[in-house]
Homo-oligomer: A and B are copies of this chain.
Amino acid sequence: MTHEQYDLVVLGAGPGGSRAALLAAQAGMTTALVEQDDLGGTCLNWGCIPTKMLLGATASKPLLDIQRKQKSATGEINFSLNALQQKKDRFIKGSRQALGKQLKQAGITVLTGTGSLAGPHELEVATAEGSQSVTFKKLIIATGSTPASFPGLQADGDCVLDSSHILSLTEAPESLIIVGGGAIGLEIGDLFSRFGTQITIVEALPHLAPSEDADIGEALQKALKREGWTIHTGKRVSSLVTESGNAKLTFEDGTEITAAKALMAAGRVPASTTLQLDKAGVQITSRGWIVTDNQLRAAGNIFAIGDVNGRTLLAHAAGHQARYVVSVISGKYEEDYLPPAMPSCVYGHMEVMRAGATAKELLESGLDVFVSRAALIANPIAQSYGTTQGFVKAVWIKKEESFELRGMAATGHGVSHLIGAATIMVEQRWQQKNIHDIIYAHPTLDEALEAALSAPLEAL
């Protein structure tokens, strides 16, 4: 058993952990990064990046279908899911190697194995060569999350799949049931619909994109229904199993549906169970998320960032928390963690974007909330693609005599392109007088932001 000592050990090499290790090494700390699986974590290997690789490569398909429907184009194209998977795998492998090289060049020790706490300054790493003990002055836990499964609703790798399984398929199923109408379910549904798969999506909450306001979710739903999706919302599932070579879903009301395959994409759970957190006094919630204080501290010298602390399950949130915690550890910063306006996107043909708060969240905080909206049908870029469904929305709160921007959201084709400008506007809490501080290029989809900001306010 070897023994090593570090200024900082980081547990988990996803977007949060890798970033933290790199920043710490830059700041002069001796740093080790412990990862039991592939460098890059869920985001690079089984999440954001593989989905985007497949969506990006096939982005022409739905655009072309619109033109065919409008009799502006003829002909047929066929994508090879097998070829796309190979290309995607090569890209991910290359990215992993590039990350490994970057970590090495930064002088970071990468330990491949499963880490668990042995005490407040000690980690046991179970590697292929045996157990190794590492001690640390500070520890950052960035172990992320895994797909949720429930009794009777468990991916079996046969007909009931999780997102890792489905992102490896080399042939598209004829039909697919998706349990969960959040980002993962929506993106995978969009992807397979491009290969002719008949999509059925099931969401227990009242609308798809359940973390968004209802108007966004409902507009998205309407567009997907027009594209031929079967949508069940507000319906709870009691079981999802492989039966006679098909996936069979049973709702709580007893009705059943079947499809060639099913995807479990109903939430994620923290990867915290094997960490022996009690050995260092780290607390978790009843669902396993690591409890952190206002500085993302889980115990005296231990911090938790990214999915595993349950604050915001987004890769860029983890990266931002990494930057903050390394600043705190290196003594450069001591303020509480206060994240800037959070951006999030659902990608695909019909997209969803949001920066900052939903109207619902603000209403629940007891604020005086107003919204203004602009339909994409009035935007010439949306018109040019023939993708005119959806809208952009600004969410304001009344502050004395003026209104302050607290959120922007949109659904429609290409709306993820608006996230950068919207994030800045919301972070800076623009007022109406700021709208014309900049010139909006004509014609751009950005003009839909301008239109939403300038539209009449409606009190909620």
Task: Please give the residue numbers on chain A whose beta carbons come within 8 Å of chain B beta carbons, in ascending order.
Answer: 15, 43, 48-49, 52-61, 63-64, 67, 70-80, 83-84, 87, 91, 95, 314-317, 319-320, 323, 339-345, 380-381, 383-386, 414, 416-421, 423-425, 427, 436-446, 449
**Contact across chains for B380 and A52 when beta carbons are under 8 A apart:** yes
Among B43, B52, B61, B316, which residue has its beta carbon within 8 angstroms of that of A440? B316
Given A67-B60, A384-B53, A438-B423 contact (CB < 8 Å): yes
Complex CA gap A329/B421 in Å reads: 32
Complex CA gap A340/B419 in Å reads: 21
Among B72, B384, B420, B443, which residue has its beta carbon within 8 angstroms of that of A421? B420
Q: Which residues of B have CB within 8 Å of A317?
A: 439
Q: Across the interface, name the chain B residue whose C-beta is closest to A82.
A: B72
Q: Which residues of B have CB within 8 Å of A55?
A: 384
**Contact across chains for B59 and A63 when beta carbons are under 8 A apart:** yes
Given A343-B441, A345-B444, A424-B438, A78-B84 contact (CB < 8 Å): no
Query: 14 additional contacts, CB 8 Å, given A53-B380, A56-B383?
Result: A49-B380, A52-B381, A52-B384, A55-B384, A57-B72, A60-B63, A70-B87, A72-B79, A72-B87, A316-B439, A316-B440, A341-B438, A343-B441, A344-B441
Q: Which residues of B have CB within 8 Å of A342?
A: 439
**Contact across chains for B442 and A437 when beta carbons are under 8 A apart:** no
Nearest chain B CB to A449 CB, angstrom units: 7
Nearest chain B CB to A403 CB, angstrom units: 19
Among B64, B316, B340, which residue has its beta carbon within 8 angstroms of that of A64? B64
Complex CA gap A444/B345 in Å reads: 9
Q: Across the interface, name the chain B residue whose C-beta is closest to A48.
A: B443
**Contact across chains for A56 and B91 when beta carbons are under 8 A apart:** no
**Contact across chains for B341 and A439 when beta carbons are under 8 A apart:** yes
Residue among A75, A320, A441 with max Cβ neighbours from chain B (10 Å): A441
Q: Which residues of B have CB within 8 Å of A385?
A: 56-57, 59
**Contact across chains for B67 and A79 when beta carbons are under 8 A apart:** yes
**Contact across chains for B67 and A73 when beta carbons are under 8 A apart:** no
Given A77-B73, A444-B419, A57-B343 contact (CB < 8 Å): no
Complex CA gap A348/B151 in Å reads: 51
**Contact across chains for A439 and B320 when beta carbons are under 8 A apart:** yes
Complex CA gap A128/B332 in Å reads: 75
Among B320, B341, B344, B421, which residue has its beta carbon within 8 angstroms of that of A424? B421
Q: Enumerate 21 A-B pairs (CB-CB under 8 Å) in ascending A order.
A: A15-B442, A52-B381, A56-B383, A56-B384, A63-B63, A71-B80, A71-B83, A72-B83, A73-B79, A76-B77, A314-B442, A315-B442, A340-B439, A414-B417, A419-B441, A419-B446, A420-B421, A420-B444, A424-B424, A424-B425, A424-B438
Q: Across the interface, name the chain B residue whose C-beta is closest to A52.
A: B384
Nearest chain B CB to A301 CB, angstrom units: 25
Among B52, B381, B420, which residue has its beta carbon within 8 angstroms of that of A418? B420
Nearest chain B CB to A95 CB, angstrom units: 8
Q: Across the interface, name the chain B residue whose C-beta is closest to A420.
A: B421
**Contact across chains for A384 and B57 when beta carbons are under 8 A apart:** yes
Complex CA gap A420/B448 in Å reads: 11
Q: Which 5 A-B pairs have the closest CB atoms?
A: A56-B384, A420-B421, A75-B77, A60-B60, A417-B417
Complex CA gap A344/B442 in Å reads: 8
Complex CA gap A25/B136 in Å reads: 70
**Contact across chains for B444 and A416 when beta carbons are under 8 A apart:** yes
Complex CA gap A231/B342 in Å reads: 44
Nearest chain B CB to A262 CB, angstrom units: 26
